[in-house]
Amino acid sequence: METKWKVFAILLIGLLSIGFFFFSKGANGMDQSETSTEMIKKASMSQTPVAKKETKEKVDPKDQREIYLAGGCFWGVEEYFSRVPGVIDAVSGYANGKGETTKYELVPQTGHAETVHITYNVKKVSLKELLLYYFRIIDPTSKNRQGNDQGTQYRTGVYYVSQEDLPTINQVFEEEAKNTTNR
């Protein structure tokens, strides 16, 4: 019987010790002497090192071209094209609406499309290749919608800067139209 009480006493002391440990640290295991700011930082900051963005290569201005592509929410389009080899820069913005400028809240009134301005190195990627990448991420048959994004600001569009680009754009559009009707 005495052994039973010793085991019970040891278990009770062990449970009380564990309980005291958790009580002193709080339910979340954090030291209660920390300020709420420190607690928030500790809980929310990533332990993973942040990847450094590569510096942009210097490209001869005569090898740089630009085009504006609209294909749904511009954040996804921007991220997609920023990873295409030969793209120097991809920047979200607006195009093809009333007035020179707009901002997010005014898009329903101005009619602008969410667009990505792409600057690319013609020695590394052609306009045709960029447009083929573009057709991989859009549905050219849906009007004012791409995926879950609905509204006129999410319409598709290719807005060229140089008249020299028009024959290539037309060629790719014709090829894609054939591919779409053959599906």
| pLDDT on residue 26 | 53
Q: Is residue 45 in a domain? A: no
Which tokens in the block code for residue 87? 């793209």
- Domain count along the chain: 1
Helices (H) and strands (E) in the chain, counts: 6, 6
- The CA distance from 151 to 144, in Å, is 5
**More confidently predicted of 99 and 85:** 85
Q: What is the mean pLDDT of residues 122-134?
A: 96
Q: Which CATH number fits the domain that encloses residue 92?
A: 3.30.1060.10
User: How far is residue 177 from each of residues 25, 122, 135, 141, 173, measured CA to CA in Å?
Assistant: 65, 25, 11, 10, 6
- The CA distance from 117 to 92, in Å, is 6
Confidence at 121, pLDDT banded by 50, 70, 90:
very high
| pLDDT on residue 164 | 96
The helix/strand/coil state of 1 is coil
pTM as predicted: 0.67
**More confidently predicted of 33 and 75:** 75
**More confidently predicted of 168 and 52:** 168
Q: Is residue 66 in a domain? A: yes
Q: Is residue 81 in a domain? A: yes
- Is 122 in contact with 63 (CB distance < 8 Å)? yes
Confidence at 45, pLDDT banded by 50, 70, 90:
very low
| Per-position DSSP letters for 78-99, written without gaps between them | HHHHHTSTTEEEEEEEEESSSS
| pLDDT on residue 147 | 82
**More confidently predicted of 166 and 106:** 166
Q: Is residue 84 in a domain? A: yes
Q: Is residue 41 in a domain? A: no
Q: Is residue 40 in a domain? A: no
Q: Name the average pLDDT for the chain.
A: 80
Which tokens in the block code for residue 85? 């080899």
Confidence at 53, pLDDT banded by 50, 70, 90:
very low
pLDDT at 55 over 60: no
Each residue's pLDDT tens digit, 1-26: 677 777 777 877 876 777 666 665 55
Please list, in sequence order, all residues whose beta carbon lies within 8 angstroms of the beta carbon of residue 176, skipping any fewer than 6 positions away: 135, 140
Q: CA 17, 18, 20, 21 torsion: positive or negative?
A: positive
Place of tokens 């791409």: 146
Q: Is residue 42 in a domain? A: no
Q: Is residue 19 in a domain? A: no
Q: What is the mean pLDDT of residues 59-77?
A: 92
Q: What is the mean pLDDT of residues 155-165?
A: 94
For 168, the domain range is 61-182
Which tokens in the block code for residue 107? 């898009």
- Is 126 in contact with 166 (CB distance < 8 Å)? no
